[in-house]
Structure 1
Amino acid sequence: MVFYGKQITYGSDKPEGYAPRLIDARIERLLGLFGAVEVRGTKWCGKSWSSFAFGESSIFLDNENVRTLVKADPRLALRGQSPHVIDEWQEVPAVWDAARRAIDSSGGSKGLYILTGSSTPEKDKVSHSGAGRIARIDMSTMTLLERGIARGGVSLSGLFAGNFESGLAQEFGLAQIADAICVGGWPALVGATPQDAAEVVSQYLGALFDVSVPKKGGVPQTARRLALSLARNVATSATLDTLAADADLGEDNVDLARSTVRRYLDMFEDLFFIEELPGWDAPVRSKSRLRTKSKRYFADPSIAASLLGMGPERLLSDSQTFGLLFESLCVHELRVFASLLPGSHAGSLRYYGDADGLEADIVFDLNDGRWAAIEVKLGEDKVPRGIANLQRLAGKIAANPAARNPEPEFMMVLTAASPFWRRDEESGVYVVPLTALEP
């Protein structure tokens, strides 16, 4: 099958009606390079289906009877035709080491296993990192492209190569963006109404707080309070003290409150519930202090909307929250696209902020030193401000003669709705609606 220019060859276990995902090309590539691939991500994001799509056999470790047998002999989980999918492997952490040993014993065979997981097991339960044998892929919920909402037209990799042509954007307004945020990228909700999606996302949160959190040693009520605090502070680098006070943890001891927040944040990351966006240590020569504390986003923007009890109508009447959740959607989309870019790495996606108040919502930093900056704006009326911010950032970096690459490959203002994607002639900054962006 050809999907976004990539010829994909699937396995015999491909589920009927499977909708191709952008990450499929990367799964296929890594299966050809490593003995196994681990596909990680939040619950319900589609990692199991994507894994089965490449599989020839599978085993499910969330089945209690199967899990009991595999705990007694982890090698049982490895039986099957390759690529063999081991779903929810973290239920029996010993499977990881068994797979690693089997890969070593195979004499370097590739594509033997696909391991899926929606949480990270305790580090002391796994004796080897799997380096060189098992590749890791972090999977997200579906992008607007994968959901059939966006049509694309502006290639991110093309921008890095200097290729761009202006074009007419699809008709897409703020109301449709609000719907897309509230429905989210859950594969089971493609085509759902925001009202139906609200019920499903609520069930997701219930399963996470009441089942997954206790498995990690957490208290559901505390997790809920902190998650609500994170929703109120989404897309910010809120301190541990701010989150503790906002969550009303009831801790009299400040150090204990910080430690509680840190423990739950780590737990949420292990469950792929939240994602951090680090600050960019930009090559600037300035007395202005850089902000490098990570901003936090949820695995899907619909989670924040659900926690805040906001449907599309409320979002449209609250421009501040709408703007933050639109930024969350943009970061969500760009995380997926960044993972597919040649030259990208684990820290490619960042943000810029300094004590002078200068910000850039997203910075791409590739492993060859090239970089690009993006500002996110809801409407066309804010585009000039975004362009001015980007020009100031480029000027600050160019002012440092020791910078490894003073000129950005490109700068872009990403909007919720614009009639055209275009290049601003005076500044050279691209203005692109989110629905026009593609890898």
Structure 2
Amino acid sequence: MKKYYPRIADKILEEALESAGAVLIEGPKWSGKTWTAAKKSKSILYMQDPDTRESNIQAASVKPSLLLKGEKPRLIDEWQVAPVLWDSVRHEVDMRGEEGQFILTGSATPIIDKQISHTGTGRFSRIKMRPMSLFESNESTGEISLKELFEKYNNIGLTSNIEIEGIAKAIVRGGWPASVTSKPESASKRAQDYVNSIVQFDVSRVDGIEKNPNKMFALLRSLSRNISTEANYSVLIKDMEGGENESITRPTIQSYLNVLQRLFVVEDLEAWNPSIRSATPLRVSPKRQFVDPSIATATLGITHEHLLLDFNTFGYLFESLCIRDLRIYAEALGGKVSHYRDKSGLECDVIVVLRDGRWGAVEIKLGSNEFDKAAKNLRKLSEVIDHKKMNKPSFLMILTGTKFGYKRDDGVLIVPIGCLKD
């Protein structure tokens, strides 16, 4: 059995079990949800087990409470196979009135229909689990944490152990737990298998409506080519046109994107809407992102050698890698990430906002040649925010693929992605 790498979600799950009767762990398949949940469970029901799947579904349709019997916490893996289990768990939690009774894992969001009559508010705690960050895969030293940055951490003198080639390999490999120790060729093949499974099977299973595999793959290719950009529907449609895809329409794109979002494959970066001093309108378009950058490289057939020959593409995918990790680290602090852009052209790659209103701004740069420009952008952003209505930024940071971290004379922090943790 492969080694279990501790996950940031471990502590989050432990705390959730102490405060709620049931915990729902959502996220893309192969991200380690079941493995993490199983370590905290005393009994397990695998809904997708081929030997028992049909009997489990039949039991759920007749008397779902039968499937809830077992030591607690009881894990119900891929619960969405029988959505009625949601209400059954909720009812059981109500009857017992105790915390830490059930853990549900799911790699697709079911359609809320007549099988689910209650949202579970007050009974369920929700956790989003993504592929592994570089800190979780032991490739980041974790010398500096996002939490420390919000607490005015100033003693910065960092050294990353991951070189540019290692970053390229990490992008193509992805954060899939099964791939962390794999050879590059095996990891790349696993990511390709993931994409093929999405296109050929998952997208039709999620809502029972048959999808055109060619159109779905064309959409994934377009999203991959436009990763880390604000490509709108018109751009995606134009990019997909040709051959069998001449009939692509906006409703089709919307429908297919919705399915990819419900499978936790697509996770766009939403726009930040702060209070600003000027009357300059803000852009509200999201940036196109996958839950893991390896989905883009697998879709386009890109290897780590290709990235080392095409630093423009490398830069966009590095941004995607950093956003994946920042999402994981921010959510561990109860925060969220977004991006900023206004119609004057001022933009910022990532804004991290905590529940209490504290925020930090991040520019992502693979190399050092654009540090000065990025720092100027960050300082300008800080100036346009209305500090009478909002806090001043807790930090201004350039997140980079370079080796050394330090504090610039202008106060902007240079932080290698290979040194960051939650």
386, 401, 423: which one aligns with 2:374: 386
The aligned amino acid for 2:141 is R
Q: Equivalent residue of 1:24, what SS?
A: helix
1:26-72 Cα shifts (integer Å, max 9, x gaps):
00000000000001110100000001010000001113233333333
Contact 1:18/1:53, CA 8 A, preserved across alignment: no
Superposed CA deviations along residues 211-239 of structure 1, whole A, max 9, x for unmatched, are 11111322222211111110011111211
Q: CA separation in 2, counterparts of 1:284 and 1:414?
A: 24
SS of residue paired to 1:121 = coil
CA distance in 2, matches of 1:247, 1:232: 11
* Per-residue CA distance 1:389-429 (angstroms, 9 max, x = gap): 101101111xx364322x211100010113x211112x101
Alignment of 1:147-158 (within 5 A): 147-158=137-148
Q: TM-score, normalised by structure 1?
A: 0.91
Q: Which residue of 1 aligns with 2:187?
A: 197
**1:177 and 1:252, CA in 2 relative to 1: closer, same or farther beyond 3 A?**
closer
Q: Does 1:323 align with 2:315?
A: yes
Q: Does 1:129 align with 2:115?
A: no
Give the whole-Å Cα distance in 2 for the aligned partners of 1:72 and 1:386: 60
Question: Does 2:417 match 1:434?
Answer: yes
2:91 is matched by which residue type in structure 1? R
Whole-Å Cα distance in 1 between the matches of residues 75 and 110 of structure 2?
A: 18
Do the aligned residues in 2 keep the contact of 1:36 with 1:112 (CA within 8 Å)?
Answer: yes
CA distance, structure 1, for counterparts of residue 73 and residue 356 of structure 2: 33
- Counterpart residue type for residue 23 of structure 2: V
Selected match of 2:11 from 16, 25, 30: 25
Report the count of equivalent residues.
413
**Per-residue deviation, residues 343-371 of structure 1 (Å, max 9, x unmatched):** x34xx211111112111100012222211
Deviation at 1:19, TM superposition (A): 2.2
Conserved in 2, the CA contact under 8 Å of 1:214 and 1:220?
Answer: no
Q: What SS does structure 2 have at the residue aligned with 1:55?
A: coil
* 1:32-431 pair list within 5 angstroms: 32-63=18-49, 64-65=53-54, 66-106=56-96, 108-124=97-113, 125-215=115-205, 216=207, 217=209, 218-248=211-241, 257-341=249-333, 344-345=334-335, 348-397=336-385, 400=386, 402-405=388-391, 407-418=392-403, 420-425=404-409, 427-431=410-414
Aligned counterparts of 1:365 and 1:103: Cα–Cα separation in 2:
33
Contact 2:156-2:407 within 8 A present in 1 as well: yes
| TM-score (structure 2 length as normaliser) | 0.94
Residue 238 of structure 1 aligns to which amino acid in structure 2? A
User: 1:41·1:119 contact (CA, 8 Å) conserved in 2?
Assistant: yes
Q: Is the 8 A contact 1:251 1:257 kept in 2?
A: no
Q: Does structure 2 conserve the Cα–Cα contact (< 8 Å) formed by 1:198 and 1:306? A: yes
Output the CA distance in 1 between the equivalents of 2:304 and 2:387. Answer: 47
1:430 counterpart letter in structure 2? L
Q: What is residue 5 of structure 1 aligned with on the other side?
A: none
Give 3-state SS (helix, strand or coil) of 1:361's partner: strand
Name the % identity: 38
Alignment partners' CA distance in 1, 2:154 and 2:11: 24
Give, in whole Å, the separation in 1 of the partners of 2:331 and 2:60: 33
Greater relative contact order (Cα < 8 A, sep 6+): 2
Instruction: Output one character per residue of 1:244-274: Cα deviation in whole Å (capped at 9) or x when no partner.
Output: 2212276778xx7111111111110100111
Counterpart-to-counterpart distance in 1, 2:279 and 2:414 = 31
The structural deviation recorded for 1:167 is 1.9
1:194 & 1:252 partners in 2: Cα distance? 36
| Aligned structure 1 segments of 4 or more residues deviating by more than 3 angstroms | 249-253
Deviation, 1:302, is 0.7
> Shift of the alpha carbon at 1:198?
1.5
**Gap regions ≥5 residues in structure 1:** 1-14
Gaps of 5+ in 2: none
**CA distance 1:76–1:194, change in 2 (3 Å):** same
RMSD value over aligned CA atoms? 1.6
Give the 3 Å change call, closer, same or farther, for CA 148–251 of structure 1 in structure 2: closer
Deviation at 1:195, TM superposition (A): 1.3
Distance 1:17 1:410 in 2: 36
Residue 222 of structure 1 aligns with an amino acid whose one-letter code is: K
Which amino acid in structure 1 is aligned with residue 286 of structure 2? Answer: S
State the SS of the aligned residue for 1:297: coil
Tell me by how many angstroms 1:74 deviates. 1.6
Residue type of the alignment partner of 1:332: R
Q: Which amino acid aligns with 1:49?
A: W
* In 2: Cα distance, 1:265 partner to 1:436 partner: 34
Q: 1:105 to 1:229 in 2, by over 3 A?
A: same
Aligned residue for 1:32, secondary structure, equals helix
Structure 1 contact 178–316 (Cα < 8 Å) conserved? yes
